[in-house]
A and B are shown apart, each in its own frame.
Chain A
Amino acid sequence: MSAGTLSAPVAPSNPSTGRRDGFGQLLRAEWTKFRTVRGWVIGMIVAALLTVLMGLFAAANVNIGCDINGQQNSGRGCLPYVPIGPGGEAVEDSFYFIHQPLAGNGTITAQIVSLTGEHAVLTGPQQASNNGPDMTAGLMPWSKAGVMIKENTKRGSAYAAMLITGSHGVRMQYNYTEDVAGLPGAVTAGSPRWLRLTRSGDTITGYDSADGSHWTKVDSVHLAGLSSTVQIGLFATSPSYVQTSTSFGGSSNNGGPSQATGTFDHVSVSGSAPGNNWTGEAVGGGGPVTGPGSQGGAPTGPLTRPFHPSNGRYTVTGSGDIAPIVGDAQGPPTATVEQSLTGAFIGLIAVVVVAAMFFTAEYRRGLIRTTLAATPRRGAVLAAKAIVAGLVAFVAGLVACTVALAVGVPMERGKGEFILPVSALTEVRVVVGTAALLAVAADFAVAIGAVMRRSAVAVTTVIVAIVLPFLLTVLNVFPSGVANWVMRLTPAAGFAIQQSIPHYSQVLTASDVARGSYPLPPYAGFAVLCCYAAAALSLAFFLLRRRDA
């Protein structure tokens, strides 16, 4: 919206058409009021500048150093290798895989008779001895073992797997982000599970069974561009054990590795005995943490055979995860694109101040009586003010966020920060959504200004309603269950529109607002804020009509 287009001289409307106080005129009047108050225009420009500067300040102060082979490195040299999945997302791909090549179509069937696990003991600071950390028995909820068909053993390549989990029953998972539930319940000696994967062209179908004769199809997936020869076999992995202790003023993550061991029986590939041409491989360093073949705390490098075929049974032990990286405490240090939009909070406060004044100033100088004499339809006045304030906030926010993201993200990358990749569409949603958030906050402030009439009270109400719940959540004042409800029910829910990395139910994460993970999906959170603004506008409409100006 440039001043030129809206303030261009418009011929006075012809009284004979009866459109003298048309809504367009009203909008123009309100826009004139806005743009001719120098403080408001300056306020919006300063807000946009501060939003950008805050993003650049954060990016400029990224300081990443690392030690590679005894050499001190910093910046780009420290960018970790992060595999990228078929869908373009950053993934973790580490597990123990015993595999053989499969040319063309085929099937793998296995009975899984047990799944057990160990995790690091977390008593005080981590005591890593030469034999790896002390371990205690315990299965993670998303520890997994099962059968897999994978493009190749490179990290991040396409795959489909039928697997049994620690506490989520049988699942079919593929290409890191997808997860389909199969038979419920844990695997025990009394109730083993049968898993089967069938490849036919690019299509892989997963089946499960409780008895090995009655099979149920779980899902059928299309893995585009699958090679004619793929790797087929058995795998096991187990995500890190993380204990989050939250206290007032901060949360600390204490964690350590875990490993899972799956025992397979009646393994057959394409209907016949698999033979002895298995290769055991710790994909992405996903070998066992302790025991034969382990590498102490960091299971990498060549391994002896941590799988034991005996009497047709196979025992496979692995650690790691096959899942998208969501930027929480686990995995390599990463950042999200929306982290360069931290400055939007500064913009938010400025927008709220200006928008509230946009209405309260009318009362202070008695201008409201002139305004209402010129336009007796009070609802239209409110609507015009809301539209003008919202549009100004949207445009200022859009410019500021676009610049902050376009400059900040490459800057952070250049300093060695791994930015979790997202699609261009998601980036647009984050930027446009943040601008829309400012616009809705502006309308909220206009409405509260009309209700309260006093600018100080109106400004405080809106800022406290939007910012304080967010702040108290970031400060970990509330336990996570309460914090989730605070971020669902208060206007602060609107910040969910900035979340670029979605929540995956198969990745165990606490929704942690400080790390950009909200309990509501982006648009639902934004809708909550919109509801507050709509309720405030309705109340303002009601009171404006009912009260004398």
Chain B
Amino acid sequence: MSEALHAEWTKLRTLSGTRWLLVAIAVLTAAVSTAAVAATHCPASMSCPVDTTKLSLTGVEFGQAIVAILAVLAISSEYSCGMIRTTLSAVPRRPVVLAAKAAVITALVLTAALAAVAGSVLAGRLILPGHGFTSARGFAALSLADGPTLRAAAGSVLYLALIGVLSLGVAMILRDSAVAIGTVLGILYLFPIIIGLIGNQLWEHRLQRWTPVSAGLAIQATKNVRSLPISPWSGLGVLAIWAGAALLAGGMAFRLRDA
């Protein structure tokens, strides 16, 4: 297993694209978060029902797309250039290959996500008090010492890692990079749009509870947690089920099909 891990690590490490994608996850996520925070003001005359923690983590909506590219390419590039046959000659036990890939991708995404989330929270902490979200008005400066904020931040890191696993599973099933990334982005972005447009409360509630992004991002809420369609950790659990199911299905497809 450790050799398989080492092999996967070498393959990813020596691709220049990997490094750029990791940097992009960290920088662009923090940049989108900063833009969202910088765009939000709370005028003195108004009450602002803003969840500042969640607002500061907006970039995760964008960062997940880059995580998906990273995970999908780790699989599909092996198929597109035939590298997968070399990989499987070296390590014939396919579950080991998949496990090693998942482990390396997860570790890389966790690292990049940590930087992304730290940058996002820092942006919120520095910018929000200047935009009317002062502690005098009930908005304490964002701090990881605050329980719900820590949960939201740590949960967002885990969220991105789970999106990586989900993408890996989907890529394993579909193999082609364009189809896989299209499917993953469809799963990530279509459900929230449908929830926003459907106008049917029953289905809205169902989709909020059982689709990966809406449920998973419940982990970012720090206000009105009781009135959420799904509680934060259960929501992340729903995403974990999606990711696990995708990985399992990907593993089955990997085992049963010729490379």
Contact = CB atoms under 8 A, between A and B. Distances in A.
B259 interface: no
Given A470-B193, A514-B197, A349 B182 contact: yes
Interface string A230-257: 0000000000000001111100000000
Interface stretch (A57-65, A78-86, A102-110, A164-172): A57-65
A477 B65 contact: no
Interface in A1-58: 39, 43, 54, 58
A482 B61 contact: no
Contacts, number: 129
B194 A54 contact: yes
A364 interface: yes
A459 interface: yes
B193 A471 contact: yes
Indicate the size class of the contact surface on chain A. Answer: 35 or more
Interface residues of B, number: 44
A455 B178 contact: yes
Chain A CB count within 10 A is highest, among B39, B48, B76, B202, for B39
B178 A353 contact: yes
Interface string A453-488: 011111110011001101110110111001000000
Given A455-B178, A468-B61, A468-B65, A479 B41 contact: yes
Nearest to B189: A467
A509 interface: no
B216 interface: no
A479 B133 CA distance: 14
A463 B189 contact: yes
A352 B182 contact: yes
A141 to B, nearest CB: 17
A460 B199 contact: no
Interface in B25-41: 36, 39-41
Given A58-B198, A61-B202, A479-B41, A247 B50 contact: yes
B39 A482 contact: yes
Question: In terms of DSSP, what is the predominant structure of the interface of chain B?
Answer: helix
A459 B186 contact: no
Contact of B65 (A350, A460, A472): A460
Contacts of B68: 460
A114 interface: no
Given A472-B61, A474-B197, A460 B51 contact: no
A373 B168 CA distance: 37
A345 interface: yes
Nearest to A364: B80
Contacts of B180: 456
A474 B196 CA distance: 6
B55 A477 contact: yes
A459 B41 contact: no
Contacts of A470: 193
Contact of A346 (B47, B58, B186, B199): B186
A130 B72 CA distance: 63
A48 to B, nearest CB: 15
A338 B231 CA distance: 33
A205 interface: no
A517 B8 CA distance: 49
B178 A356 contact: yes
A246 to B, nearest CB: 8
A339 interface: yes
B49 interface: yes
Interface string B134-172: 000000000000000000000000000000000000000
A514 B69 contact: no
B61 to A, nearest CB: 6
A339 B194 CA distance: 11
A457 B69 contact: yes
A342 interface: yes
A249 B224 CA distance: 11
B194 A353 contact: no
Nearest to A454: B177
Interface of A: 39, 43, 54, 58, 61-63, 245-249, 335, 339, 342, 345-346, 349-350, 352-353, 356-357, 360, 364, 454-460, 463-464, 467-468, 470-472, 474-475, 477-479, 482, 514
6 smallest CB-CB distances across A and B, nearest first, come from A353-B182, A455-B178, A474-B196, A456-B177, A247-B49, A482-B39
